[in-house]
Amino acid sequence: MFRKFNAITMAEMMIALLIMCILAIFALTTIKPQDKAYKWLYVRIYHSLEDAVYNSMTLRNVDGFPATSTDFCNMLKEYMNTADEGEEVNQINPKCEAGRDLTRDAADFPEDKIQLILSNGMRLWIGSNAGAPYVLSEVIDGNTATMKYYVVFADINGSKGPNLAQWDDTGNFDWNYSSKMVDIVAFVVTEASIVIPVGPPEIDTRYMQAVVIYPPDDENCPDCTRSSPNTYYWAKNNAWGQSKSIAEPMSLDFAGEFKSNSPFTVAYPAANSVETGEGCSDANNMVSQCYVKIEEYN
């Protein structure tokens, strides 16, 4: 007696392999490694804040920088796609109100202090000086210059973990290049309508990269002459060195405003000389021909 066995034909095997390949490609393109996802999310919130601040400050019906954090929060809300105030989002009620403010040196980010939730799930807190803006004072060429600012803390991946501003695997909050990436980041928003990154992303290219834009060789293409991508810290150093100017808020020492135990305080490497050979200036109170540009996610 002979038994009949069913076998898989070559054509059926090829079809099965094709389906498996398609599924594998789909998975690779939709599930990003954490570092790539964080870089994309970080630059996205940076540019969202930048656009909102620029548009709101340009089109505001009242003069000057918002005098209260509530006004500042509502200013952002007007130009960012957010949940309605008081609307429950995952059992959280975001509201623009002074009682929810954090301080500049916050290390904990409670859900009941969230002021804005964006349509993509990102959650924002606001740091203020008891409801008013902070004021940075810098001595430039012997004169004291001031700049008002608020701090915006963002949980870039929403309610997903780890919901931390800094890991404490080693029993302390000292950040280093081997530290795990975190999802709560901070930005300084200045009265000059410039959004400034602070904390580990300044020296960690896993979050972002920046370039120096040199004086153009072609006036029709001002961004064509640029440095290689590097950290934000090195881009600032190469563009301006140790010089400071109120006309260039990125050159000011906002990072020095944060306490030493803040999760957004990092140790910077020793600075080198400015790239004067590329037309950059190291003079205080400069109107620099070089500037720094944060790169889009790539």
pLDDT tens digits, one per residue of 186-202: 999 999 999 999 999 99
Within-domain flag for 228: yes
* Cβ pair 147, 249 in contact under 8 A: yes
Mean pLDDT, residues 70-82 taken together: 91
pLDDT of 57 > 70? The answer is: yes
Which pLDDT score, from 0 to 100, does residue 10 have? 73
Mean pLDDT, residues 245-267 taken together: 90
Number of domains observed in the structure of the chain = 1
Mean pLDDT, residues 249-262 taken together: 92
Within-domain flag for 14: no
Q: How far apart are CA 105 and CA 257, in angstroms?
A: 9
pLDDT of 7 > 50? The answer is: yes
Q: Which of 32-36, 128-132, 255-259, 268-272 has the lowest mean pLDDT?
A: 32-36
Within-domain flag for 27: no
Instruction: Supply φ then ψ for residue 49, to 5 degrees.
Output: -65, -45
Q: 234 by DSSP, 3-state: which?
A: helix
Q: Give the predicted TM-score (pTM) of the model.
A: 0.83
Q: Which of 79-93, 127-141, 164-178 has the lowest mean pLDDT?
A: 164-178
Mean pLDDT, residues 10-21 taken together: 74
Within-domain flag for 13: no
pLDDT of 29 > 60? The answer is: no
Residues spanned by the domain of 99: 33-294
Q: Extract long-range pairs of 193-198: CB within 8 Å, 24+ residues apart.
A: 193/53, 193/54, 193/57, 193/58, 194/53, 194/249, 194/250, 195/46, 195/49, 195/50, 195/53, 196/249, 196/250, 196/254, 197/46, 197/232, 197/294, 198/254, 198/255, 198/258, 198/264
- More reliable by pLDDT, 153 or 248: 153
In the chain, the N- to C-terminal Cα span, in Å, equals 66
Within-domain flag for 26: no
Q: How far apart are CA 149 and CA 135, in angstroms?
A: 6
Within-domain flag for 172: yes
* Strand residue runs (E) in the chain: 116-117, 123-127, 134-140, 143-155, 184-190, 195-198, 210-213, 291-294
Average pLDDT taken over every residue of the chain: 84
Within-domain flag for 4: no
Within-domain flag for 28: no
